[in-house]
Structure 1
Amino acid sequence: MKTLNTTVAAMFTLWAGVANTAEQSTPPNQNTAARVVTLADNYVAEYVKNFPEAAVFSGMTVEHQDGLSDNSLAALKRWQTLEDGWSKELAKIDSAALFGQPEWVVLGFLREAVESSRQLRVCKYELWPVNQMSGWPFLTTQLAAIQPVGSEQARKEALARWGKLPRYLNNELDNLREGLRAGYTTPKANVRLFIEQLDAILAKPVEEWPMYSPASRDESPEFKKAWAALLSEQIKPVIERYNQFLKNEYLGKARESIAIKAHPNGEQCYQASFRNYTTLDRPAKETFELGRREVERNLAAALAIGKKDFQANDLPTLLERLKQDPANHFTSRDELQKYAQAAVGRAKDHMPKWFARVPKAEVIVEPYPDFLEQTASDSYWPAAEDGSRPAMYRISLFAYKQTTRANAEITAFHEAYPGHHLQLALATERPAAHPITRLVGNSGFVEGWARYAEALAEEMGLYSSNYALANRRLWPARGMVVDPGIHLLGWTREQTVKFVSESGRFDDNTAKALVDRVAMWPGQLTAYDTGALEFFALRKQAQETLGPRFDIREFHTVLLENGSVTLPMLREQVMHWLKSKT
């Protein structure tokens, strides 16, 4: 899933604080709460102003849909200067004085966003943005699909926003050239994948581009004509120039290694990136060893199921059973999509028994466009805060023949109910919550919850076969092994593909794509099980503490009540709840 733990932070106006007269007449903790809210209010306001498409992706309601981020290095420098000042202001605030108040949560989100972003500077991600997973072709496809149209004002704003895309792409070309100069490049394999995406776009008339979506959804002939002209006359030439730059100048100089430690300060970058995704400070080697132990434990559980249900006494035999049974496979793209839709609907019906609140927002299953489906992972995109559009579970139908029904169910429960959609939609629908708690998140919580949801789905009786029960146990925690393995411990592409493929969750081609994904997002694949292990540990502790008084609906409410908090904050709020119960 693509979550909102983006490394791009909002520029904001740093207020000087509360006036001295107010400080003299206001209780200290109340004054501290006011300072936190003031800073958070400015963060959100400036985020929407300076990173408008990111705000839209989060589901926020924005006044105008005509903006696009300034991705120049000068804009980034201005942000970093302000960020440093913000960090100094936050360092003066004692979070302990706010515990139990809503502002404690707001402060946690704000502090995490600022400090994590500052730590990530060492990675210089802005200098190597050629990313087949989340680069501009992917983001513009999603933005085009949700760009409002249908009125004269909406059409005007759409043309204004997309008229800024050439500037954005030219800025990115400048950043890539600076990256070459400074020794920061995307791995060659990923550059080739990106070029393939651009070739696929440019091979079609603009009316068949995903970016044509606003015109295809609007009835105005004049707008359709203007939109086609914008794509063909202003945007297409820049994309062609960008593609030629990659082919003629960049590819030959791109790095051979997929490991981040090939970059300057690569090991520091890995730790900062791991910290950004998981919200935990933990050495990579410790994550690797913890992951290996969990893989062994999960494998033993899967083999127990294999022996009992499939007469499979070893992993190769179990994988053969999982992969070869025709009843565990699909015969068409349409069958896979309908199966995923049915799984989402079935899970939704079971929610009230396990959760005190269920989201109002709907979620739809939407396939990726053809130029993205070979490289993009299944993902979740939040619904609009104002209810104007549903959430979207984007699914790749490309490898339908290799996709098993077991994996399709696991993914559906991960992305929709009881996974991402349930958690993130509930976070969006909290009326009293500060907007920053919906705008900012982290993968440790978000992906950790979705992994926990895969296991919860089994308790809920949602899986339709024992194939899924065995398969569900074969993949978890392997990301904690392969991610640091690739980036810091010298794992080869071949070694990684073998380790991933033997999980039975991915065929060889998908396993290779996973390696290319890890290359671009150092640390991200560790977040799923780093977070999930914390959810499992907290549930175990709650059950042991409360015994027969443990209520799963109440426990889930406590976990989800404040949105995607950091993992340390999550533990603190659960411990506070347990103390109040005992």
Structure 2
Amino acid sequence: MKSKHAERMLSGERTCIGQITKSAMFSLFSRSSRSDPASVDARFQAIYTKEWAWRQAQHLESDEDEVGIPSYLPRVDDKTQQERLAYWRDVIKQLDNIDPKTLSAKEQVNYGVYREQIEVFVAQQEFKDYEKPLNADTAFWSNQASIARQTFSKHDDYTNYIAQLKDVPRYFSEQMDNMRSGLKRGFTPPRITLIGRDSSIVSVVEAKTPEDTIYYEPFKSILGSIPAQEQANLRSKGLEVIRESVLPTYQKLLTFFRDEYFPNTREKLDAESLPNGRAYYLAKIREFTTEPLKAETIHKIGVDEIARIRAEMADTIKESGFKGDFNSFLDFLRTDPQFYAKTPEQLLKEAAWIAKEFDGVSDKYFGHLPRRRFAIKPVPDDEAPFYTSGRGGPGVYLVNTYDLPSRALYSLPALTLHEAAPGHAFQMPLVLEQKDNPPFRNAYISAYGEGWALYCEYLGKEMGMYHTPYDTFGMLSYQAWRAARLVVDTGIHSLGWTREQAQKYLHDNTALSAHEIETEVDRYIAWPGQSLSYYLGELAILKCRKKAEEALGDKFNIRAFHDAVLQTGSVPLPLLEKHIDEFINNGGKGPYPNEEH
């Protein structure tokens, strides 16, 4: 694996690239140059190659050729964080000395992605995001525990894992020190969003034996190719390090969280009430949308889109034959047993059926398919109560089987298209297959990645994936859910909305269950800006498609268009728009010459 970004996706630790102005984009793609592109390319490549090697030395990224479980945990103390800030600021100065117009076409794209990546890193360090290493969705300790759920495929994975566990006391101590610094300046998640979030700590602390903790999971089924005596040795060392390093550290963490941190977290919800909060929220909008938008503008887009979607919902209700108003229909969907699985296994099998149904139509809409397959698994029990309905990435589609009356079957087709294929578990492996891109291009840009996955939900209607008006309404409810995020996120963080006001807005405009609404709103409160990426990203892709259809006419080919969008990997939205302009100028030809379009 070239990068940790794909693995972080499943634990919620997404790396998202910041905005870039459209005027800058036009200059990036200008072909005129007074300098030799080869020499300028070499200067630029030297900058990002050196910086990437530095990231690896900082243990912020895996070595390019490293596959498996790394043996290290990064340093996260304040001194190290300040050193990183100084380093990335210097990188920006170096980039300022390069005129992107003088780069080759390929490196212009790399420059556009890379510069925004570094600018986001600088902003994150300047605002000291590392002093808040948790939110309602995830936390540093749950990210650490998730390593135990990864695939161990060789002997070194076990020894490296043991080395990581030995370092847990140091790593957790530095994280807690950072959280104390955040407490002192009021830089914390709102207290309401952290209620019950210590359950994943408790599950380790209160385990009857070290073998009952999540951290022992890799040792329960050690590779058969490892000799029996060595297997016993690895289990013994694993038990020892869990007993002596992990368990005492988790006890300290639980005491710290309950007695020191949680009681002193802030009560206000909005990001703008944080230190330098107005600038902080603006930086988050730029990070997650890749566009220089104001909160008020985004809020209005959301309100307008909700009105449009509500009209489509009304037509779908009429098509279903239901007699009653909108709210009565929502109540019907939320309460009728026909719409809910009876067992976790049924929900998982329904998701698998939908995923295979997509396989049957995939070649009609995509010319180039990823080589990597994915498994469908339940969300782990210790994370499920506060986890989203599902989450996908390279190799896996996690389906939340907790609280089955909250997991509507009419929403499952849209969820599966988004998280599995052709969404995250489809798009991300395609990025990793592109070996000619520099490794920093494997970063996950939320506006692109989430925009694509939400577009896949919309595409499901065209692909014939929604078989009943209820399925279609589930898709529309999900579209309304993401449009409502534009209203709710900006409402909470900039316009003074309460938690109850945000919950009511989702309740009145979507078919989400009460449990999902509470979980989702707390995520938006604790993670400012992230929820804006989905719908704005989808709108950008739909805009690109409409432009291509109108420009190409009969030459427009949906498979070639999708291949072109996916070819770029994660890029800022303005760069995607310029890429589709080139696709149009090239006559709508697909990027893979050996694929039939």
Q: Structure 2 length normalisation: TM-score?
A: 0.88
Whole-angstrom CA distance in 2 between matches of 1:297 and 1:303: 10
User: How far 1:465 sits from its partner (Å)?
Assistant: 2.4
Are 1:196 and 2:199 counterparts? yes
CA-based RMSD of the aligned residues comes to: 2.3
Bigger shift: 60-69 or 240-249?
Answer: 60-69
Whole-angstrom CA distance in 2 between matches of 1:8 and 1:243: 33
SS at match of 2:434: coil
What residue number does 2:447 align with?
A: 444
User: How far 1:455 sits from its partner (Å)?
Assistant: 0.6
The structure 2 residue matched to 1:520, chosen from 504, 522, 526, is 526
Task: Kindly provide the amino acid, as one letter, of the partner of residue 93 in structure 2.
Answer: K
User: How far 1:27 sits from its partner (Å)?
Assistant: 5.6
User: How far 1:357 sits from its partner (Å)?
Assistant: 0.5
- Structure 2: stretches of 5+ with no match in the other structure: 1-8, 19-33, 224-230, 589-597
The structure 1 residue matched to 2:278, chosen from 267, 270, 282, is 267
What residue number does 1:484 align with?
A: 490
Task: Kindly provide the amino acid, as one letter, of the partner of residue 166 in structure 1.
Answer: P
SS at match of 2:198: helix
Task: List aligned pairs for 1:226-265, cutoff 5 A.
Answer: 226-265=237-276
- Does the C-alpha gap of structure 1 residues 123 and 348 become closer, same or farther in structure 2, counting only changes over 3 Å? farther
What residue number does 1:206 align with?
A: 210
What residue number does 1:471 align with?
A: 474
What residue number does 2:227 align with?
A: none
The structure 1 residue matched to 2:83, chosen from 41, 65, 78, is 78
- Does the C-alpha gap of structure 1 residues 277 and 516 become closer, same or farther in structure 2, counting only changes over 3 Å? same
User: How far 1:50 sits from its partner (Å)?
Assistant: 2.2
Task: Kindly provide the amino acid, as one letter, of the partner of residue 242 in structure 2.
Answer: L
Whole-angstrom CA distance in 2 between matches of 1:519 and 1:437: 29
Whole-angstrom CA distance in 1 between matches of 2:305 and 2:210: 48
Whole-angstrom CA distance in 2 between matches of 1:374 and 1:400: 11
Deviations 1:408-428 (A, max 9, x none): 221111011111122111111
The structure 2 residue matched to 1:51, chosen from 59, 67, 90, is 59
The structure 2 residue matched to 1:366, chosen from 377, 387, 390, is 377
SS at match of 1:565: coil
CA contact (8 A) 1:122 1:269 kept: no
Whole-angstrom CA distance in 2 between matches of 1:80 and 1:265: 18
Are 1:97 and 2:102 counterparts? yes
- Does the C-alpha gap of structure 1 residues 238 and 412 become closer, same or farther in structure 2, counting only changes over 3 Å? same
What residue number does 1:22 align with?
A: none
Deviations 1:435-467 (A, max 9, x none): 2211x1211000000000001111101123221
Bigger shift: 496-505 or 222-231?
Answer: 496-505
The structure 2 residue matched to 1:88, chosen from 63, 71, 93, is 93
User: How far 1:529 sits from its partner (Å)?
Assistant: 0.2
Are 1:157 and 2:163 counterparts? no
Task: List aligned pairs for 1:353-392, cutoff 5 A.
Answer: 353-378=364-389, 380=391, 382-383=393-394, 391-392=395-396
The structure 1 residue matched to 2:145, chosen from 141, 147, 150, is 141
What residue number does 1:15 align with?
A: none
The structure 1 residue matched to 2:36, chosen from 6, 23, 28, is 28
What residue number does 2:181 align with?
A: 178
Are 1:497 and 2:503 counterparts? yes
CA contact (8 A) 1:120 1:269 kept: no
Deviations 1:394-413 (A, max 9, x none): 22110212211111221111
Whole-angstrom CA distance in 2 between matches of 1:540 and 1:111: 29
Whole-angstrom CA distance in 2 between matches of 1:564 and 1:538: 15
What residue number does 2:30 align with?
A: none
What residue number does 1:303 align with?
A: 314
Task: Kindly provide the amino acid, as one letter, of the partner of residue 417 in structure 2.
Answer: F
Deviations 1:78-113 (A, max 9, x none): 1110000000111222223336x3212221221111
Whole-angstrom CA distance in 2 between matches of 1:317 and 1:308: 15
CA contact (8 A) 2:17 2:445 kept: no
- Structure 1: stretches of 5+ with no match in the other structure: 10-25, 384-390
- Does the C-alpha gap of structure 1 residues 492 and 348 become closer, same or farther in structure 2, counting only changes over 3 Å? same
What residue number does 1:69 align with?
A: 74
Whole-angstrom CA distance in 1 between matches of 2:521 and 2:400: 17
- Does the C-alpha gap of structure 1 residues 497 and 564 become closer, same or farther in structure 2, counting only changes over 3 Å? same
- Does the C-alpha gap of structure 1 residues 191 and 560 become closer, same or farther in structure 2, counting only changes over 3 Å? same
Deviations 1:173-213 (A, max 9, x none): 11111112222122212333322321233222332222222
Task: List aligned pairs for 1:321-400, cutoff 5 A.
Answer: 321-378=332-389, 380=391, 382-383=393-394, 391-400=395-404
SS at match of 2:196: helix
User: How far 1:574 sits from its partner (Å)?
Assistant: 0.9
What residue number does 1:14 align with?
A: none
Deviations 1:261-295 (A, max 9, x none): 22111121111011111111100110000111001
Whole-angstrom CA distance in 2 between matches of 1:255 and 1:445: 32
Bigger shift: 522-531 or 334-343?
Answer: 334-343
SS at match of 1:476: helix
User: How far 1:526 sits from its partner (Å)?
Assistant: 0.9
Whole-angstrom CA distance in 2 between matches of 1:249 and 1:71: 20
The structure 1 residue matched to 2:293, chosen from 282, 304, 327, is 282
CA contact (8 A) 2:16 2:444 kept: no
User: How far 1:64 sits from its partner (Å)?
Assistant: 7.0
User: How far 1:29 sits from its partner (Å)?
Assistant: 1.2
User: How far 1:309 sits from its partner (Å)?
Assistant: 1.8
- Does the C-alpha gap of structure 1 residues 228 and 64 become closer, same or farther in structure 2, counting only changes over 3 Å? closer
What residue number does 1:457 align with?
A: 460
User: How far 1:323 sits from its partner (Å)?
Assistant: 2.6
Task: Kindly provide the amino acid, as one letter, of the partner of residue 47 in structure 1.
Answer: R
Task: Kindly provide the amino acid, as one letter, of the partner of residue 105 in structure 1.
Answer: V
Whole-angstrom CA distance in 2 between matches of 1:501 and 1:229: 49
What residue number does 2:585 align with?
A: 579
- Does the C-alpha gap of structure 1 residues 326 and 502 become closer, same or farther in structure 2, counting only changes over 3 Å? same
Deviations 1:11-34 (A, max 9, x none): xxxxxxxxxxxxxxx962111211
Task: Kindly provide the amino acid, as one letter, of the partner of residue 283 in structure 2.
Answer: A
Task: Kindly provide the amino acid, as one letter, of the partner of residue 275 in structure 2.
Answer: P
Q: Structure 1 length normalisation: TM-score?
A: 0.90
Whole-angstrom CA distance in 2 between matches of 1:313 and 1:371: 40
User: How far 1:340 sits from its partner (Å)?
Assistant: 1.1
Whole-angstrom CA distance in 2 between matches of 1:424 and 1:241: 37
User: How far 1:431 sits from its partner (Å)?
Assistant: 2.7
Bigger shift: 472-481 or 560-569?
Answer: 472-481
Bigger shift: 297-306 or 424-433?
Answer: 424-433
Q: How many percent of aligned residue pairs carry the same amino acid?
A: 25
SS at match of 2:300: helix
User: How far 1:55 sits from its partner (Å)?
Assistant: 4.1
The aligned length equals 553
